[in-house]
Structure 1
């Protein structure tokens, strides 16, 4: 645990990628093998379930620090991070604990089933026996919010430096449904096992956002376009007489989409298809809100299958006849995919369709097609070079995502909270409202979205100063403010929702600009927002 905490201290103290890679590589070279496995798990988001809720953590931390809970809460909202606040306020002790990272994490797994009294005693003992960084890391494990600016790619590169194993091979090895509780470092990283290949996906190839005009990409003859679908990126693997469905988040989701098992009778072994899982109610592409009805469900009932069916939009072929074909040009892979999927797309009983590729003679035609994106239930276009191989991770040059301009609405600031990290001393997390007008003409502001990005540092400081002078009420960390400031809010998608007071759910809302030129009377209405729903 001490060695892992020191690693986090090193990573936390630098923004230089080279230094981070060297620190991780040194750790992977010297740490115990069991700790290496758990470190890989933690850095690839395989964390144990949270054993204690944050309400109890705050209460117990204020008790052991011998300070009032209100003072702890104020400190927390200034610091902006619960684990860091707890690590700071709990006094150092002469007691020292020498325990491995593996033992700590196994303890936390078993702690979940313990009584509240046992949990409290365990936390008190460990909080008081750890150094600052050990206490910080330990509490991060409990809260489940372990984010330290280390990407999967950076972690894989460091592991490659420590083991001498190629990065692409490691990326493949670390995908899948492995359990740090049961797998050894030898099995996970060092050993070559043929059976692993049956279920594992390939590392996903990701596109960069296209900024500026597309003409800079050169001749249109080099490019295919297809619509960028708003679903769950996935790979469907047909091997050894079975189907395995993986999400881009490296989660095996086969059991969540049982309808895909029907494809086993039509798609041969040794096939891997890259595509997008989309909601398909009434045999038409639905909204992401529809898809959320399927995401995270532990059981998929017949009613759910009938109410919210899904399909996969296939857009690439990564393996064919048992051979990895990612190095072949995209144009060749697409031809094989079309020969396979086109005959199946015509059968409405099969949950698969081909994502159409398009080619145009001029960039203006690409622009025209992009303008139809929302009408076609997509987020914009993907531009793919005809001769591009299927690479690993996010690479510039061959694949670009060219999203449509966001939808926008002018809304009124109604509530505010302090931000996190370097903005923890400022009110930067905002809630916005739109006018709801009843038949008698009376109107009120109804909240519809939250956003915390889009302003400059200077603008955030100005809004923060205004909020502190115009607070109406306080609800814990939340302040209601005088309705006066108007902001233009951008978002990617919109759908009706019974879970929101406004009746509408927006996707990826953010602040586009502060409308200092508008009064609240000029802000939009909920009706205006609903009129944006396609």
Structure 2
């Protein structure tokens, strides 16, 4: 466990990608099975523990320290695992340090009633870094700046001719501690094969056009096809045959999580073997509904007949990965698209249709279509379009986000000028900074005067330099404290205005303002604008009516 804890600590303090990659590769090369496999599972988020929750950790530390002192310390540090690791009063017993495998097995096997005692024993045996790593493992929020993709790339680096994409392709047929995967990349065993008749295939992702310095030059490199970008969630529907010939269909999220349990109305939509990549939407009377409507079906534990009738699920297909039993991901997109047209036409269902292509001759034509989908062929579905997708006609279907093949060009976001009202420390690397912001717009008060009404929260969109500026402002202008939250100066002539970008609005009974923003983020800091000139709640109401 101490070796794994050391890896996590070094990753957390290492800002360079290639250095992180070397740290993980060296760890996987030097640590034997199954310990390195459990570490890989932890780094990729493949572990979950039913009975080990943050509430248990809080209860244990407050039994051993003053609850008020813990609260103050947690407020200052901003990270639960780090706070508890530093405050835990146990004395380290070096001869009883558990292995990472022992801890994972214990977390899975120990009953809920016995877990507090066992967790306390582990925490007593570990030093501060080991306790921190253990608690990070339990809470599932590593926040060490190393993605699952980077961890898989480190595994691929163990082999001489294994590409990261090859690891991605076999990943979803494997289970921890991944001994067959390590044997394969090190040349000690065969390539792992999945026996699942309907496995998940890693998704291909697009590059945002605003992230490309000269996108016109990037797009001129090849022949591109365009289609609408729908405001739903990315899914993959895979159908295959068992040994007895019966069809098995599975629905996956973009990350490979199986979600058919929440959408049983799609179960019988697929009568052909194959795998479709598309967008999950809600259709009513042939019209695509907004993402706000789709949210009524997401993350539901129980799916009632009324829910199925009121929110009928639909898949709009835009790529074909497997045709029958033939894997066609290496074929060019233009050929896959034609085979997709034929595949969808053979499905005897109204639950799946084909994503419409967007005709264009020049980039100005495409820009006009993006700005006004209704006049460019989207028709009644125009309100559910959030931009356009561009795909090179000769592109294979490659896992990850390969450069220069697929682009997404989203419609311009809505913006509002709002006043910063509250701030809270972030987590992980941001635990020392006030990086989570609540902002508000002006509205008439009960006595006729204007008051600020909170309309949303944002914790991204700004640069590191802007974060330092915002953190400095919060510290210098704090007027009150509510636990970990600081209230800041927010008056007509004193305060800070933030330009907030967001994707849409919806009615909300949970928010005092009556509206909720979708994906709000800080677009820029309006140092030039006094708070009294910030937008009013009426502005959001008008945007809501327009959308």
TM-score range normalised by the length of the shorter chain: 0.7 to 0.9
RMSD in angstroms over aligned alpha carbons? 2.9
**How many residues of Structure 1 are paired with residues of Structure 2 in the alignment?**
520
Task: Please give the alpha-carbon distance, in whole angstroms, between the structure 2 residues aligned to 1:325 and 1:175.
Answer: 18
Match 1:279 to one of 267, 276, 282: 282
TM-fit CA distance, 1:466: 4.2
Once residues 471 and 44 of structure 2 are traced to their aligned partners in structure 1, the CA distance between those partners, rounded to angstroms, is 36
**1:100-249 mapped onto 2 (5 Å cutoff):** 100-111=99-110, 113-115=111-113, 118-162=114-158, 167-175=164-172, 180=176, 185-186=179-180, 190=184, 196-211=195-210, 212=213, 214-219=215-220, 222-240=223-241, 241-249=247-255
Query: Taking structure 2 as the reference length, what is the TM-score of the superposition?
Result: 0.86
SS of the aligned residue for 1:244 comes to strand
User: 1:10-89 counterparts in 2 under 5 A?
Assistant: 10-49=10-49, 51-58=51-58, 60-61=60-61, 64=64, 66=65, 68-89=66-87
**Cα gap change, 1:274 to 1:422, in 2 (>3 Å):** closer
Q: Distance in 2 between matches of 1:18 and 1:187?
A: 22
- Secondary structure of 1:402's counterpart equals strand
Query: Which of 523, 527, 533 lines up with 1:512 in the alignment?
Result: 523
Task: Tell me if the contact between 1:429 and 1:450 (Cα under 8 Å) persists in the aligned partners.
Answer: yes
Q: TM-score, normalised by structure 1?
A: 0.88
CA gap 1:301/1:15 in 2 versus in 1, 3 angstroms = same
CA distance in 1, matches of 2:260, 2:222: 38
Deviation at 1:247, TM superposition (A): 1.1
CA distance 1:437–1:262, shift in 2 (3 Å)? farther
Task: Pick the aligned partner of 1:341 from 341, 344, 363.
Answer: 344
> Which residue of structure 2 aligns with residue 417 of structure 1?
424
Please, which runs of 5 or more residues in structure 1 have no aligned partner?
Answer: none
Residue 525 and residue 99 in structure 1: after superposition, are their counterparts in 2 closer, same or farther (change >3 A)?
same
* Cα distance change, pair 308–4 in 1 and its aligned pair in 2 (3 A): same
Q: For structure 1, which segment, 477-486 or 314-323, has the greater mean C-alpha deviation from structure 2 after superposition?
A: 477-486
- Shift, 1:140, TM fit: 0.7
Change (3 A) 1:488 1:85: same
Q: Residues 443, 206 of structure 1: CA spacing in aligned structure 2 closer, same or farther, 3 A cutoff?
A: same
Deviation of the 1:192 alpha carbon? 5.4
Q: Which runs of 4+ in 1 moved over 4 A?
A: 163-166, 187-195, 218-221, 438-443, 455-463
1:493 aligned onto 2:494:
no
The answer on whether the counterparts of 2:323 and 2:343 sit within 8 Å (CA) in structure 1 is: no
Bigger shift: residues 68-77 or 393-402: 68-77
Question: Within 1, Cα distance between the matches of 2:151 and 2:411?
Answer: 33
| Secondary structure, aligned partner of 2:82 | helix
* Residue matched to 2:310: 307
Question: 1:295 aligns to what SS in structure 2?
Answer: coil
Residue matched to 1:524: 535
- Distance in 2 between the 1:53 and 1:195 partners? 32
Change (3 A) 1:496 1:343: farther
Task: Give the direction of change, closer, same or farther, for the CA distance of 1:467–1:133 in structure 2 (3 Å limit).
Answer: closer
Q: Which residue of 2 aligns with 1:261?
A: 267
Cα deviation, 1:261-308, whole Å, max 9, x if unaligned, reads 22233xx22x11111111224432222232222222233221111122
Q: 1:90 — aligned with what?
A: 88
For residues 469 and 372 of structure 1, the distance between their equivalents in structure 2, rounded to whole angstroms, comes to 45
User: Structure 2 unaligned runs (5+)?
Assistant: 185-189, 242-246, 375-381
Contact preservation (8 Å) 1:220, 1:362:
no
Shift, 1:324, TM fit: 1.4
- Tell me how far apart the structure 2 counterparts of residues 196 and 400 of structure 1 sit (CA, whole Å): 33
| Aligned 1:372-521 pairs, distance under 5 A | 372=372, 375-437=382-444, 443-457=450-464, 459-484=466-491, 485-521=496-532
1:409-443 CA-to-partner distances (Å, cap 9, x unmatched) read 11122211123344433333210112334799554
Distance 1:341 1:531, change over 3 A: farther
> Cα–Cα, structure 1 residues 239 and 465, in superposed 2: closer, same or farther, change >3 Å?
closer
Q: Which range is displaced more, 245-254 or 413-422?
A: 413-422
Contact 2:420 2:439 in 1 (8 A): yes
